Amino acid sequence: MSRYRKCAVRGCQDSVSVRHRFPNPTKFMYVFVQWVDCIDFTLEDNYGNNRFRKDAVPSLNLPDQQISNATDEMLGKPSTSASYQQLGEVCSVTTSQPGNLDVTTLEPIEEHYSEASSSRIESGLLHKLHVTRETHLSPKAKKLYKIASHLCRANRRLRCTRRLIRSTRSTREVLNEALQHLDSTVATFIKSQITLAGSKSQGRRYSLEEIDGTYTS
């Protein structure tokens, strides 16, 4: 069994997520520097094992006079990942009526995931949350991430089905227009052959209208 270390933030009991640790600078130096710059921590706030100092407080968007007052409150409460809220905003799929293939999607899905494969969809969601792996998410965020990935894949399957139905309908319209100029017997025969093209010769069945029309003509 894999061993988990305690979270670097005092008061946090999460032993699964590593969101409170710096990215390993020896492996992900670019992510490490970018992460430090985004939250406005300094290198002095980090000590051994890539953890926060107990008195480390990000100064991003915090006035100088309020930093000292906010220190105790921030250290006393476990920090939660921002991915929880963002995951709920990434993917949303709704249908107008049951059985209706028309799908209404939000703008991020329309722009980024309409033609993507399932692997690209998942990587796109993680990129949207500014993380590289699913293991970097909090437990609640992981559940929402799986739901969002499932909805995106379902949306893509519905789009493929809708395109297939549209192409089939257009093919039938073209066929009907072409058969309008032929004799009714020939048109009926061609339609029956196309309909039964995928079945074996012993299993082909013709309707009474087709048989009656063939013999009477």
Based on the fold, state whether residues 133 and 94 are members of the same structural domain: yes
Stretches where the chain sits below pLDDT 70 are 1-12, 14-23, 32, 35-127, 129-131, 137, 167-171, 198-217
pLDDT, residue 96, reads 45
Our count of domains for the chain comes to: 3
Its pTM stands at 0.24
- Report residue 28: phi and psi, to 5°: -130, 65
Based on the fold, state whether residues 11 and 41 are members of the same structural domain: yes
- Report residue 93: phi and psi, to 5°: -125, 125
The neighbour count for residue 143, using CB atoms within 10 Å, is: 13
pLDDT, residue 213, reads 54
Based on the fold, state whether residues 89 and 177 are members of the same structural domain: yes
Full domain range(s) for residue 126: 84-181
pLDDT, residue 160, reads 80
79, 95, 113: which is the final residue of a domain?
79
pLDDT, residue 183, reads 82
42, 57, 79: which is the final residue of a domain?
79
pLDDT, residue 181, reads 80
The Cα–Cα gap between 72 and 68 comes to 8
Based on the fold, state whether residues 88 and 170 are members of the same structural domain: yes
Based on the fold, state whether residues 91 and 74 are members of the same structural domain: no
Rg (CA), the chain: 30
Q: Which residue has the tokens 């980024």?
A: 112
CA angle, corner 84, sides to 60 and 44, nearest 5?
30
